[in-house]
Structure 1
Amino acid sequence: MLTRRHIRVKVMQSLYAYSQSENDNLKSEEKFLLKSMDEMYDLYLLLLNLFVEIKDHAEDYLEKGQQKHLPSEEDVDPNRKFVNNELISQLEKNNALNVALDTRKLNNWKNDDEYVEILWAEIRKSDLYDNYMSTRESSFKEDKEFVLAVFKEIIAPNEKLYDYLEDKKITWIDDLPLVNTAIVKMLQKASAGKEQALTKLFKSSDDKEYAIELFRKTLLNDESLANEMEGKTPNWDKERIADLDKILIKMAICEFLKFPSIPVKVTINEYLEIAKEYSTPKSSIFINGILDKLSKEYRENGKLNKMGRGLM
Structure 2
Amino acid sequence: MLNRRHIRIKVMQTLYSMQQNDSDRLEGGEKFLFNSIENIQDLYLLMLTSLIEIQRKEEDFLALSQKKHLATSQERNPNRKLVDNQVLKALAESISVSNAIDERAVNHWHVNDNYIQILINEIKQSELYEEYMNSGLFTFKEDRDFIWRVFTEIIAPNEKLYDFFEDTKLTWLDDLPLVNTMIQKQLKQLTEDDLQILVPRLYKDFDDKDFARQLYRKTLLNAGELNKEFVDKTPNWDSDRIAEIDTIILRMAICEMLKFSSIPVKVTINEYLEIAKEYSTPKSSIFINGILDNISKAYQADNKLNKIGKGLL
**Class of the TM-score when normalised by the shorter of the 2 chains:** over 0.9
Conserved in 1, the CA contact under 8 Å of 2:100 and 2:199? no
Partner of 1:258: 259
- Deviation, 1:69, is 3.1
1:37 maps to a residue whose letter is I
2:269 maps to a residue whose letter is I
The superposition leaves residues 174-230 of structure 1 with CA deviations (integer Å, 9 ceiling, x where unpaired) of: 111111000011111212354222222212221111111100110111111112123
Task: Say whether 1:282 aligns with 2:260.
Answer: no
- Deviation, 1:310, is 5.7
- Deviation, 1:67, is 2.5
Runs of 5+ consecutive residues of structure 2 not aligned to the other structure? none
The superposition leaves residues 34-79 of structure 1 with CA deviations (integer Å, 9 ceiling, x where unpaired) of: 1111111110111111111001111122122212332111101111
Partner of 1:130: 130
Task: For 2:231 and 2:274, locate their aligned partners in 1 and report how far apart those are by CA, in whole Å.
Answer: 24
Task: For 2:270 and 2:167, locate their aligned partners in 1 and report how far apart those are by CA, in whole Å.
Answer: 32
Partner of 1:63: 63
| SS of equivalent residue, structure 1 residue 163 | helix
1:74 maps to a residue whose letter is Q
- Deviation, 1:24, is 3.1
2:294 maps to a residue whose letter is K
Task: For 1:266 and 1:243, locate their aligned partners in 2 and report how far apart those are by CA, in whole Å.
Answer: 23
Deviation larger for 157-166 or 251-260: 157-166
Partner of 2:85: 85
Partner of 1:196: 197
Task: For 1:11 and 1:310, locate their aligned partners in 2 and report how far apart those are by CA, in whole Å.
Answer: 26
2:122 maps to a residue whose letter is E
Task: Say whether 1:174 aligns with 2:174.
Answer: yes
Conserved in 1, the CA contact under 8 Å of 2:96 and 2:197? no
- Deviation, 1:285, is 1.4
Partner of 2:16: 16
| SS of equivalent residue, structure 1 residue 9 | helix
1:138 maps to a residue whose letter is F
Q: How does 1:23-172 map to 2 (within 5 A)?
A: 23-134=23-134, 138-172=138-172
- Deviation, 1:129, is 1.2
Conserved in 2, the CA contact under 8 Å of 1:276 and 1:283? yes
Task: For 1:302 and 1:54, locate their aligned partners in 2 and report how far apart those are by CA, in whole Å.
Answer: 59
- Deviation, 1:25, is 2.2
The superposition leaves residues 228-260 of structure 1 with CA deviations (integer Å, 9 ceiling, x where unpaired) of: 123211111111111111110010100110111
Task: For 1:196 and 1:189, locate their aligned partners in 2 and report how far apart those are by CA, in whole Å.
Answer: 10
Task: For 2:221 and 2:311, locate their aligned partners in 1 and report how far apart those are by CA, in whole Å.
Answer: 23
Task: For 1:138 and 1:166, locate their aligned partners in 2 and report how far apart those are by CA, in whole Å.
Answer: 38
Report the CA distance shift for 1:230/1:22 in structure 2 as closer, same or farther (over 3 A): closer
Task: For 1:162 and 1:297, locate their aligned partners in 2 and report how far apart those are by CA, in whole Å.
Answer: 44
1:117 maps to a residue whose letter is Q
Task: For 2:291 and 2:164, locate their aligned partners in 1 and report how far apart those are by CA, in whole Å.
Answer: 40
Task: For 1:135 and 1:82, locate their aligned partners in 2 and report how far apart those are by CA, in whole Å.
Answer: 12
Deviation larger for 68-77 or 142-151: 68-77
The superposition leaves residues 87-106 of structure 1 with CA deviations (integer Å, 9 ceiling, x where unpaired) of: 11111111111111111111
Report the CA distance shift for 1:60/1:120 in structure 2 as closer, same or farther (over 3 A): same
The superposition leaves residues 135-175 of structure 1 with CA deviations (integer Å, 9 ceiling, x where unpaired) of: 56612221111110111111111111111111111111111
Task: For 2:76 and 2:52, locate their aligned partners in 1 and report how far apart those are by CA, in whole Å.
Answer: 24
Percent identity, aligned pairs only, is 54
